[in-house]
Amino acid sequence: MNAIKQRLGAGEQLLGTMVTTFPSPDLIKILQNSGFDYCIVDCEHGSFTTREVSDMIGAGRGIGMPVLVRIPEIRREHVLHYMEMGAAGLLLPNTESADQARQLVDYAKYAPMGHRGVSLSRPHTDFKKVNGPEYMRASNEYTVMICQIESQAGVDHIEEIMAVPGIDAAMIGPNDMSQDFGILNQYGHPRMTAAFERVMAAAAAQGKWSGVHFGSAEPLKPWIQRGMQLNLWNSDSGLLSLGAKAMAELRGGK
């Protein structure tokens, strides 16, 4: 079972990273051993095949490392495929309305919360024979649905989005948000700060969680300190670059 909600409910702050480039089940083990609490496979910008994503999700399930998926868009086939693979949850990019959030829940959750198709002899059950009603209730409870807020429209409707039953968290995408605001990469700008605070407050008002994805540590630290619980730092390719830059020491650099 996915422990993300349990840990968040206990007040823990979780830190994950985005898998954007390398389609390896071994990567999931490396991320867990490096101390990450979860990861999100990027199927919006990434070029992964469904088999590659399935293999990474399966590796995560085998070692207790939650693997979520950022879906390309809100379509039933995308949601169903990744849920059937056993994803611990989904991230919906550029959520701008409560209707989009409700659609995500409808596709991802079994009745009575939604209309997810019922096929239980699949990777999401580890091909075990399960008690259907019990399993479906448990799946509805532990799978994590996150709306990514990346625009002024998303911020404007954040209270309605967070009020949708079945949505668990808001994840801010600061790059696209700052682009939409016309202040690209100005993460400390007062408009960005106000937007972050509004998203955080809207989630908290519904008893839900919030977080943000930054490539570097410095802009992320203040929001961790302010209590955001579900955050992302860097990516698989970014972390490789950070490590590779240590080569400068061998060349006599600084």
pLDDT tens per residue, range 194-241 = 999 999 999 999 999 999 999 999 999 999 999 999 999 999 999 999
SS3 221: helix
Residue span of the structural domain in which 34 resides: 4-250
| Alpha carbon of residue 174 to chain centroid | 14
Query: How far apart are the C-alpha atoms of 231 and 224, rounded to whole Å?
Result: 8
Contacts of 29 (CB under 8 A, 6+ apart): 59, 63, 65
Percent of the chain exceeding pLDDT 70 equals 99
Query: How far apart are the C-alpha atoms of 208 and 8, rounded to whole Å?
Result: 9
DSSP class of residue 108 equals H
Q: Tally the domains of the chain.
A: 1
Enter the tokens of residue 214: 């930054």
- Give the DSSP H or E segment for 211: strand 209-214
Length, in residues, of the chain:
254
Largest CA distance in the chain: 63
Q: CATH number, domain at 127?
A: 3.20.20.60
Query: How far apart are the C-alpha atoms of 99 and 116, rounded to whole Å?
Result: 17
Enter the tokens of residue 176: 């696209």
pLDDT, mean of residues 6-33: 97
pLDDT at 155 over 70: yes
- Tokens 């696209």 — which residue? 176
Q: What pLDDT score does 1 carry?
A: 53
Q: What pLDDT score does 254 carry?
A: 57
pLDDT tens digit sequence for 43-72: 999 999 999 999 999 999 999 999 999 999
Query: How far apart are the C-alpha atoms of 63 and 67, rounded to whole Å?
Result: 11
Strands of the chain, DSSP E:
14-19, 38-42, 67-70, 89-92, 144-149, 169-172, 209-214, 230-235
pLDDT at 12 over 90: yes
SS3 43: coil
Query: How far apart are the C-alpha atoms of 11 and 7, rounded to whole Å?
Result: 7
Closest CA to 215 of 191, 232, 240: 232
Angle in degrees, CA 99, 103, 106, rounded to 5: 135
